Amino acid sequence: MKNRLIKKALCVALASTMVFGEALPAMAADGSADVQSAQAEVAFAEEASITYFSVGGQDTVSSGSVHISALGYGTEAVLYVNGAWYDSWTGSDYDGSWHVDTEFRGVAGATYQFKLVVSDDNGQTVSQESGKIYFEAPKFSRSRKPSEYVSYSTGDTGYRELGGVSVSFPFDSYVQNDIWYEVYRSTKPSGGFTKILSGVGYMYGASEVRYYDDNVKVGNTYYYMAKIVTGTDSYNKTSRVVETSAVAKVDCRLGTAELSVDRGAKGADITVCDYGAANQFDLYRSTSKTKGFKKIKTIYTPEYTDTTVKAGKTYYYKVVPKYYDASTRAVSKGTASEVRGVKILMGTTELTAVQNTKSSVKLTWDKAAGANMYEVWYMRSDISGDRYKRAVATKGTSCTIKGLASGAEYSFKLKSQSVSGGKVICENVTYKWLQTGYTESVRELGAVSSTVSASKDKKNLTIYTNLKWNRVWGASGYKIFARNNYTNKLEQVAVIKSAARNTYKFKNTGSSSKGIKYYSAYVVPYKGKKQGEMTSVSVNYIPLAKNVKAVRKSTSEVRVTWSAVPGADSYTVYRMNPVLGTTQWLGQTKSTNFSDRKLTTKLEYTYFIQPSTNVSGVNCSIDYEAAKQYKAVYTHAVGTPKMSGASNTGAKKITVKWSSVTGAKNYVVYRATKKNGKYTKIGTTSSCSFTDKKAAKGKTYYYKVAAVAVNDGGCAAQSAYSKTASAKSKK
């Protein structure tokens, strides 16, 4: 017992020395020491005591947390924060000592007071309280304004829609303390603000408050502000606003669109560039830049060709962007674009030049809108002072120019003309350059097509890529090279000993363990011992899936099917539509069919199926100009009503009934006096019945119905006609 008491006294003394730097009492050599001093220390140790208590080191905290430490004796030590229990520590069974070493994270803007209460076995308590500690709150910047961003996205069915609003309220500096905040919104610049944040936002230190609001509508202007609050928890019973931001204005109204107009092959090519939510545009046209504009069409895609223009005239265009909200059917309008004009002289066309003999070049082109005559001119561009000479005047779309020099450079000029009465009313000019004879590199090298074969376990495959290029006249032949991915060495794969042979079937092997052998092939012309320059082409691409078909299954589903691709272990389904010209990822499957349920009517969808293999390095890209067998073009139609029948329901009245069609806005009723006669529209209704009140007594009438739906872009579409129903007006 004596040793234990002495140990307790020593512990107290050690604690006193650690905290206050006091000296230990003197002790005799025989271990008895100063008995009176030891007994005094023992008596003190048996009671609850706090020998050291420290909360941080300053009144304001900006580091995120405050450090709390304490020493003493007793049965239990309890720490309270703002009067609420925070944590407790039990005294040691050995000597009753306890030790506190903990962190407390406070909320920015809140003030805390810490109290330590220690009790002993006798029910006695001692306590010690800190001063008030303030956790620094952030200050919203007054030099930097709130920033905002309106995001737009492609909706599930393919039309552009408003995504949401992102607002940011910057602080003066980065704050490490925990921040609680609220966000408010109004449709007025001052007043009417309501909290839009569910509960209270939380950030573990930040330099700004950010919020994304996806509950917004096109056509509205919104005002946002943020508040830093203390919130309520175990230590803060009442929430208090400690800082309020400036107001951020976000305009979700449609603005204006950018318009470009060019002379195209078939008329005036119009391109609308809109970075907002517009999903349709009213197109206006005039022959005057300042007046007389008339709406000629509502377009739903960013590209449109006005084919009604006439040669020799100048036309001016402008567009008004609009947004159709599919959920509310409301239409919002923006402001008109700047006026853009174009003079319709003649449609444009591309000119192609290919050397087809040692001394001749064949030129080809497409028909140009408005042209009835074409003139082809040429000259030596490598001879200074040479002039264009007319080679031919033709109504066709090709010609061959003979008698050309080998190893020369030529410039060809195509004049697309509108000729009337022997006079050229207007014309367009297109140029093309070509070097005849031997060239150091091949021209127009490309992969014409590819096929693939694979082992049954799909671990090994072979890609055959058909290469083609323009013949190099004067060459002895061509060499085919490829870099081996396994050895990283350039290999000569083949030698073609005839310049007339300008195709090659490249074989490329691969496995799941080693990957594909070659990424690219190189074609090099050679003349005798002289070797030309390398031109590369990719040979690691497998083709898209073939025989793609899209078939309507129901009002809300289209089934896409395709043929299996050898070696493919999965397929990715893509869909493109002309509204934005973008490709949508629809899904991935291991089967050869896919159901698309993200549809809207009267919007053309093009489906592509991209196969994937387990052989690394093998690619497959979407080719938008691919042959028909690699894609399926599909437009989802409105469902056709099923006719229930027609009956004479009163004097000069015949009532027609039919089944409802999902998504139909209304129904159009048509009538004829003969089953295969001419049907005339007699009414429109939103219900599934219609009463014809102009049925003459004694006559038999025939009826059919069509459903009308408005798609997600606001474009109306009508279904096919229902089967006919007839009734005789007997009353």
What would the pLDDT profile of 490-547 be if each residue is shown by its tens digit? Answer: 999 999 999 999 999 999 999 999 999 999 999 999 999 999 999 999 999 999 999 9
Closest by CA position to 296, among listed 579, 717, 159, 305: 305
Is residue 664 pLDDT above 80, yes or no?
A: yes
Is residue 40 pLDDT above 90, yes or no?
A: no
Question: Strands, DSSP E only, in 19-113?
Answer: 49-55, 60-61, 66-73, 76-81, 84-90, 97-104, 111-112
Site of tokens 């009503």:
641
The mean pLDDT of the chain is 91
Residues 129, 115: contact at Cβ < 8 Å?
A: yes
CA dihedral 591, 592, 596, 602 (to 10 degrees): 180
* Beta partners for residue 305, in sequence order: 269
Q: Give the whole-number percent of the chain exceeding pLDDT 70.
A: 94
Closest by CA position to 210, among listed 165, 152, 177, 250: 165
Is residue 278 pLDDT above 70, yes or no?
A: yes
Question: For residues 368 and 499, what is the distance between their CA atoms, to the nearest angstrom?
Answer: 34
pLDDT value, residue 661: 95
pLDDT value, residue 89: 97
Using pLDDT thresholds of 50, 70 and 90, give the confidence band for residue 46.
low
Q: What would the two tokens of residue 386 be?
A: 């040479």
pLDDT value, residue 312: 79
End-to-end Cα distance, the chain: 123
Question: For residues 544 and 563, what is the distance between their CA atoms, to the nearest angstrom?
Answer: 10
Q: What would the two tokens of residue 33 be?
A: 């020491």
Question: For residues 538 and 466, what is the distance between their CA atoms, to the nearest angstrom?
Answer: 11
Residues 480, 496: contact at Cβ < 8 Å?
A: yes
Closest by CA position to 318, among listed 365, 357, 282, 366: 282
pTM, two decimals, is: 0.77
Q: What would the two tokens of residue 481 be?
A: 């090279």
Is residue 276 pLDDT above 90, yes or no?
A: no
DSSP of 313-336, one letter per residue? EEEEEEEEEEEE-TTT--EEE-PP
Is residue 95 pLDDT above 80, yes or no?
A: yes
Q: Give the whole-number percent of the chain exceeding pLDDT 90.
A: 83
Question: For residues 510 and 528, what is the distance between their CA atoms, to the nearest angstrom?
Answer: 34
Closest by CA position to 63, among listed 204, 202, 210, 245: 204
pLDDT value, residue 344: 87
**Non-local CB neighbours of 202 within 8 Å, separated by 6+ positions:** 178, 179, 180
How confident is the model over 330-359, as a mean pLDDT? Answer: 92
- Ordered domains of the chain (ranges, CATH): 2-135 (2.60.40.10), 147-251 (2.60.40), 258-344 (2.60.40.10), 351-435 (2.60.40.10), 443-538 (2.60.40.10), 549-635 (2.60.40.10), 643-728 (2.60.40.10)
Report the alpha-carbon angle 401-404-408, nearest 5.
Answer: 125
Chain centroid to Cα 698, Å, comes to 63
Question: For residues 448 and 623, what is the distance between their CA atoms, to the nearest angstrom?
Answer: 12
Residues 126, 98: contact at Cβ < 8 Å?
A: no
pLDDT tens by residue, 369-404 = 889 999 999 999 999 999 999 999 999 999 999 999
Closest by CA position to 323, among listed 269, 270, 275, 260: 275
Question: For residues 252 and 220, what is the distance between their CA atoms, to the nearest angstrom?
Answer: 5
Q: What would the two tokens of residue 146 be?
A: 């709130």
More confident residue, 377 or 300: 377
Is residue 41 pLDDT above 50, yes or no?
A: no
Question: For residues 630 and 633, what is the distance between their CA atoms, to the nearest angstrom?
Answer: 10
Question: For residues 639 and 16, what is the distance between their CA atoms, to the nearest angstrom?
Answer: 90
Is residue 9 pLDDT above 50, yes or no?
A: no
How confident is the model over 602-612, as a mean pLDDT? Answer: 95
Supply φ then ψ for residue 543, to 5 degrees: -75, 160
Residues 426, 390: contact at Cβ < 8 Å?
A: no
pLDDT value, residue 623: 81
pLDDT value, residue 32: 37
pLDDT tens by residue, 419-473 = 989 899 888 899 999 999 999 999 999 999 999 999 999 999 999 999 999 999 9
Question: For residues 344 and 373, what is the distance between their CA atoms, to the nearest angstrom?
Answer: 16
Is residue 10 pLDDT above 80, yes or no?
A: no
pLDDT value, residue 274: 85
Question: For residues 336 and 283, what is the distance between their CA atoms, to the nearest angstrom?
Answer: 9
